[in-house]
Structure 1
Amino acid sequence: MMNLLPIGQFAQASGLTINALRHYDASGVLPPARVDPESGYRYFRRDQIRTARLIRVLRQLDIPIEQVRGMLAHAEAGADPAPALAAHLKAAEDRLAVQRSLVHGLLTRLSEGAEMNHRVTVRESGPERVLVRGATLKNSGLEGFLRTAFQEMYAVAGRGPLTFTGPAFVRYHGVCDEENETLVEACLPFWADAAQPTGLPAGMSVRDLPENTFACTEVSGPAAGFPAILTAYDAVADWIGAHGFAFAGPVRLVHRRWTGTPDDPGNRFEIAWPIEEPSQDTP
């Protein structure tokens, strides 16, 4: 017992509270060196102080307890925990950049109004036949999915070869951010009266979309990057509500000009939301 510290002294030395030490014991992150069988009192080795301080810092960085456990296990096995820590910090920096952009967009909208920065127009579209590949995901998985989906669809289209009738577009069936996942469909429109695709891989299909009326706005440059582009979606949604239309389907992000690199200033997108006159039964 001479080299063991009771939990109170260990808490003072490590900077962790007694309740935190009990929690980390229960979760298997920092078990005590000895537990008195009669009193249940916990004792820790002096060399555990360094581990406890590391846990304290990792938790202050909002690293989940499961990830902390994994990092400590790797460190005990002789692995360098620095790469995992660097990856976490990079992800935290990315989240902070998104949050700053969201706050900036919100402040701009509150002070100026979304429609002031986005001109909304109406256009008609006839029936369309499209190659479709869909997935349910959050925004973090969006870029990788779309890149792979369009590569596969263009490969299928080239075997036809298909005659394209317009630019590629993406249909969003809900909000796609880091808090929500939704069905996202990559779409490639082609002429229904010419060559048709064959040998479709799993997960890819052909779909006929009906004619539509769209409320639209275009974005380019910095405004076309995430999350700044969310303001444009809001502007179109506000316009639809203000003009008494009903939402008639998932919103589209049409690739009017796509450089192949997200957030590139040369990108130009159209946000197109299907609309219809509200039903007479609508209160």
Structure 2
Amino acid sequence: MFRIGEFSRIGSVTIETLRHYDALGLLKPAKVEPSTGYRYYTTKQLQTLNQIIALKEVGLSLEEIARILRENLTADELRGMLKAQLVVTESTIEAAQRRRERILARLNYLNQEENMPAFDVTLKSVDAFTVAAIRETVPTIEQIPQRWGEMFMTIARWIKANGYHSGPAITFYHNESYTRQHIDTECAFVIRTPKIDKVPQPESPIIVRQLEAVAQMATTVVADYRIEGLEPAYNAIGQWIGDHGYCIAGPPR
């Protein structure tokens, strides 16, 4: 048998940790000397200690580890718990990666802000026109660039298959407020055709619809069309609208 200090060195854990495991019932000493209170552990208990350490390192709580030891779970049951823990770990990694991307985007924005030229916001009228569009809710803002690309490709294939000529590409945000999740977005190509009733309705998810004319639209030109590049442009347009006494009357394009 090993005294607690010796067992601590062999198992590479502190004496305090062994006492904590004892208090929780995870790993009780094989023997406690009544007269001195010295704790003794056996060689066989090293296997239990190693199992506790291994399960703790994969993120399981001490309560979960206690259940595993207490109920003597089968290999399939243990495998199921570890798979569940893997899902949690991967989700944490993905969240950290998204947070990292937001931090980098913010740093890039701050770096550009110092040398950023003022946006030239102008008012212009926009005629009515026909568009082929797809509208969907994208789970996260990080997925927007990929989904936009896929949506535009789907529309472009339909336009080409039907012999139409496409005009400018347009995107819409239909959410009432800014959000980084569940983004209600729409991608569209202008169809160069004189009458909407001459365009056959495509199969879902593509729709053909008429965009109404806009008498006054605040616009600006953005060279950087990434998500990060659009933010300062929207800020500039919003500030211009407020400064000149206008109100927002529709979703941004």
> Is TM > 0.5 for Structure 1 vs Structure 2?
yes
Work out the CA distance in 1 between the residues paired with 2:160 and 2:105.
39
- Provide the rounded CA distance (Å) in 2 between the counterparts of 1:15 and 1:90: 33
Structure 1 residue corresponding to 2:96, chosen from 92, 98, 109: 92
The 1:56–1:105 alpha-carbon spacing in structure 2 relative to 1, beyond 3 Å, is farther
Q: CA RMSD in A?
A: 4.1
CA contact (8 A) 1:15 1:53 kept: no
Structure 1 residue corresponding to 2:219, chosen from 210, 216, 221: 216
Contact 1:156/1:197 (<8 A) preserved = no
SS, match of residue 155 in structure 1: helix
The two structures have a TM-score, normalised by structure 1, of 0.56
Contact residue 160 and residue 197 of structure 1 kept, 8 A: no
Whole-Å separation in 1 of the counterparts to 2:203 and 2:190: 17
Partner AA of 1:205 in structure 2? I
- Which residue identity lines up with residue 150 of structure 1 in the other structure? F
- Matched with 1:144 is 146
Which secondary structure does the structure 2 equivalent of 1:248 belong to?
coil
> CA separation in 1, counterparts of 2:225 and 2:145?
14
Aligned AA for 2:55?
T
Cα separation, 1, equivalents of 2:17 and 2:201: 68
Find the counterpart in structure 2 of residue 200 from structure 1.
202
1:35-54 to structure 2, matched below 5 A, reads 45-46=48-49, 47-54=51-58
Corresponding residue for residue 41 of structure 1:
none
Q: Distance in 1 between matches of 2:148 and 2:192?
A: 22
Runs of 4+ more than 6 Å apart: 83-87
* Partner SS state of residue 102, structure 1: helix
Q: Counterpart of 1:125?
A: 126
- Residue 240 of structure 1 deviates from its aligned partner by 0.8
Structure of higher CA gyration radius? 2
The letter for the 1-side match of 2:161 is R
Aligned equivalent of 1:242:
243
Q: Which runs of 5+ in 1 are unaligned?
A: 1-8, 22-31, 35-43, 58-71, 253-283
* Partner SS, residue 251 of structure 1: coil
Distance 1:146 1:228, change over 3 A: closer
> What 5-or-longer segments of structure 2 have no aligned partner?
1-13, 29-46, 62-77
Q: What's the offset of the Cα at 1:160?
A: 2.6
